[in-house]
Structure 1
Amino acid sequence: MTKTIYRPEHTALLSLLRKHRKAAGLTQVDCSKALNRPQSFMSDVENGTRRLDIVQLRDLCKVLGISLPELVQELENAITTSH
């Protein structure tokens, strides 16, 4: 099985996170600070060099103003429409 960071589903997730961050009017620095993480945290997440566990993803969703279930549904929609 291919590592998840190389799968199109992971790329779709990163794209959604970036989209929601920008829609919220937040910079990567803003998000990192809100999560009490170093500045590089969001950069690493969006570049795909850092993976998030489910709790971290939920925390990030709160910062972005979207619920985790909403994000998951968007991800599912993006994955199914791209195949």
Structure 2
Amino acid sequence: MPSSFRSRRHQRLAELLAEYRDKADLHQAQVAQKLGRHQPFMTNIENGQRRVDVVEMLDLAEIMGFDPHELIDLLLKTPKK
């Protein structure tokens, strides 16, 4: 199985997380602080330079107020290649 890192779905995940953060009217630093991280953590996620695990995604959903099921549905509609 090829790596999903930097795949179209991985890129779409990064885009969606940035969109959800913008909709929540939060800055990267605010989200990172709520996660107990530094701002570059969010920059790396939104630039596609860092993977997001399931637990982190759930934490991000709680902080930004999005439905993780919706996020997954959108990712499933994104072509793999």
Q: TM-score, normalised by structure 2?
A: 0.86
Distance 2:76 2:3 in 1: 19
The alignment-based identity, stated in percent, is 34
Distance 2:13 2:52 in 1: 11
Structure 2 residue ranges without an equivalent (≥5): none
**Cα shift at 1:55:** 0.5
**Cα shift at 1:71:** 1.5
Runs of 4+ in 1 over 2 A off after TM superposition: 74-77
Q: Which has the higher contact order (CA 8 A, sep 6+)?
A: 2
Q: TM-score, normalised by structure 1?
A: 0.84
Structure 1 residue ranges without an equivalent (≥5): none
Given that 2:61 and 2:67 are in contact with CA atoms closer than 8 Å, whether structure 1 keeps it comes out as yes
What do you get for the CA RMSD once the two structures are aligned? 1.8
- Which is helix-richer, 1 or 2? 1
Matching residue's letter, 2:25: G
Matching residue's letter, 1:45: I
